[in-house]
Chain A
Amino acid sequence: MQQGTRKTASVDRHRVDPALVVRATSGEADAVQELWQSHRRWVAAIVLSHMPREADLDDLLQDIAATFVRSVQELRTPGALRPWLRTVAINAARAEGRKKTRRRNALESQAATDPGTFQRDETPDKTAAVPEDADEAKWLLDLISQLPDSYREPLVLRCVRGMNYKAISELTGLPETTIETRIARGRRMLRERVAIERERQMGRSSASQQGAGDGGLDA
């Protein structure tokens, strides 16, 4: 692997400042705020990689920030901050997922008992359509949400500025080599999905052009 000779991808800007954590745990409001601000971007990335597609990242982050403020004083050691915050973020995202699932199930069962009240959503699957430039980001994130959890999280975290293999490894508690492999595999899977979707879209558009052409001839 030539680990020793490889360059580090970038500087770890998300390192925990122990003195800042101690100040925050002793209840200093400025320190609590500073600590949150220095970690909120990767927390958002964690939530993004675990939350259901239709969830609101903004709402979830506000909940996590409130939990952080309420409970940061319980921390015993500075080193526990990032794993704890990651757990809080994952739990919030998964709880939202469970909530959405329950709501969907309730709606479906209600629709089954009273089909007249509910109409089936006939809008096409958003992931099936290759987007315009404006929707490109959303489309990519939708595709990413289809990857397995274990690949998705490191791949999304790697996109956060300053999150290198080492920082992700420290955060997740996994070896650096595992993180590197998962990122590489995740990228491969994503490229494959993008290629498949683009091919499918090209097939659709050529079929519709053909249909329009046939229609023109008929007319």
Chain B
Amino acid sequence: MSPDDHNNTDKNPESGGRPPVDRDLLISRVVDDAAAAADWDQLRSLAEYDPSVWRELFEAQRAQAELAQAVEQAIAIADEIDAPLEHLPRHGMRLRFRQVASWGGWAVAASVAIFFVAPNLTGPAPVIDGGNQAGIVPPLGTNQANGSTQALGPYNPPEFIASPARELQLGNPPSQSPYLTDPYRLASTRQERAAEQLGEMPDRVLLEVRRLPDGKLELVYVRRLIERAVVDEDSLYKVKPDDAGIERTVPYRQRRPSSGPI
């Protein structure tokens, strides 16, 4: 039978109202030993109508056997190729690189971002339910109590429950300029008391995974929180390089719309 005159669907009038069966699929299932009883029934009824299907099935099985043998033979070479472990980066170096990369991002962000120095801000900060886990970002939702947007209860997969975020020691961001770091840290500390947490950036930066003696995993990672605070303009500063290139803290002034003639 030539490929062109091949009827690919079961047009057997005795198929009893069942939807037409794709002939290729039926044969393929049998070849893969994935045919159910119903598939065999349909194949049998198809063969009663067109006996060439048995020959086709035989050819398909033979072709598959030959092909499987050819592929297995070709990919057998993979068994001789091991992972070149000499290319494995040393963990310490990798960790240091990641830390530099992630904290470097913070340093750059800090150099251009606005930060808060708000000594007179008070008020408790809503706390996101503890236990937000690395890689699992709680969905944002509305707090029914105060109407603010904040993180809903997180999903805690069992393998991560052992290391709640609050136990982690993230340390201070390394920076070439302590001048940058200190006001930022001051601002962060005060914000923790005053700012309202809206949510969290979806990506957390994994710094280290370490297996503990008890078999659990200890994760060290960076969480980036989105917060909101209401401050006086006088208490707002930004970091800006001066003429000598030294970064200075200067008061932040937001540009106001011009009231002059256009």
A joins B in a complex: yes
Number of B residues contacting the other chain (C-beta, 8 Å)?
52
* Residue in contact with B32 in the complex, picked from A9, A43, A66, A161, CB distance below 8 Å: A9
Q: Which of A94-102, A111-119, A185-193, A204-212 contacts B (4 or more CB under 8 A)?
A: A185-193
Determine if B73 and A184 form an interchain contact, defined as CB atoms under 8 angstroms apart. Answer: no
- Contact between A137 and B73, CB atoms less than 8 A apart: yes
The answer to the question of B94 belonging to the interface, with a C-beta cut-off of 8 Å to chain A, is yes
Contact call B37/A37, Cβ cutoff below 8 A: no
Stretch touching chain A among B142-150, B167-175, B205-213, B241-249: B205-213
Q: Is the CB of B3 within 8 A of A195?
A: yes
Cα(A37)–Cα(B81), bound, Å: 8
List CB contacts (< 8 Å) of B122-154 with chain A.
Answer: 135
Contact B74 A48 (CB under 8 A): yes
CA A137 to CA B69, docked complex, whole Å = 7
Q: Assign chain A's interface to a size class.
A: 35 or more
The answer for the CA separation of A44 and B84 in the assembled complex, in Å, is: 16
CA distance A183 to B60 in the complex (A): 12
B88 within 8 A of A: yes
A92 within 8 A of B: no
B67 touches A140 (CB 8 A): yes
Partner of A69 from B24, B64, B85, B135 at Cβ < 8 Å:
B85
Query: Contact at A2–B83, with CB atoms within 8 Å?
Result: no
Contact partners of B77 in chain A: CB under 8 A? 44, 57-58, 61
Whether B70 sits at the interface, judged by CB under 8 Å, is yes
Q: Please name the 4 residue pairs, one residue from A and one from B, whose CB atoms are nearest each other, closest first.
A: A137-B70, A184-B28, A27-B91, A159-B71
